[in-house]
Amino acid sequence: MKIIMLGAPGAGKGTQAKMIAEKYSIPHVSTGDIFRANIKNGTELGKQAKEYMDAGKLVPDELTVKILLDRVAQEDCANGYVLDGFPRTIPQAEVLEDALKKLGDQIDYAINVDVPDENIVRRMSGRRACLKCGATYHIEHIPPKQEGICDTCGSELVLRDDDKPETVQKRLQVYHEQTQPLIDFYTERNILKAVDGTKDMKEVFNDIIAILG
């Protein structure tokens, strides 16, 4: 079972990807993680990716797909995998599709965790983080015992720049321009399935399981 997770930043697709991976005993493949692993291990692909990153450039789609295929060719992916964070654009989806086709393979499901923008802005701007110990909270859903203070180490909690409404709006704009077209791309291939991401996390997960069977 080969699955791609789609959804705007803050829609909760990473959380769902981890839960799917656990339930079906397949790896959760995050492109950020595999980049870091290749660079840390000094692989040939990792060295190539590092050159682009050190120069402040985006890693080309072809190289990203090579690193991805290298990961999904490993033994633990024999029964499938959940892709999180890739593809983000139509060209990336096309490169991935062509590369898998050459291997006689294809993606089975593209699951879109659908959440309206205003919900995402509210969800992310409610996050609070402790910069000292890394603990995270949410003023509505997981509030600290004492407002603005970390339960774990007593340090002050902050709203990270990434979670500020204006930053979230910018990220959503990029998402709609680049990633939203993937919805049409996978709809045309009859593998897109949408779930209502505004529901409780467990309900969303149950909806996904109902699709995957």
Give me the active site residues, please.
Answer: 13, 88, 127, 160, 171
> What residues have CB less than 8 Å from 126, skipping those under 6 apart?
138, 139, 140, 141
Q: Choose among 132, 124, 130, 108: nearest CA to 193.
A: 108
Which spans in 103-213 are helix H?
117-125, 165-178, 181-188, 201-212
Any idea which residue has 């600290």 for tokens? 144
At 8, the amino acid letter reads A
Per-residue exposure over 150-167, b if at least 16 CB sit within 10 Å of its own CB, e if not: beeeeeebeeeeebeeeb
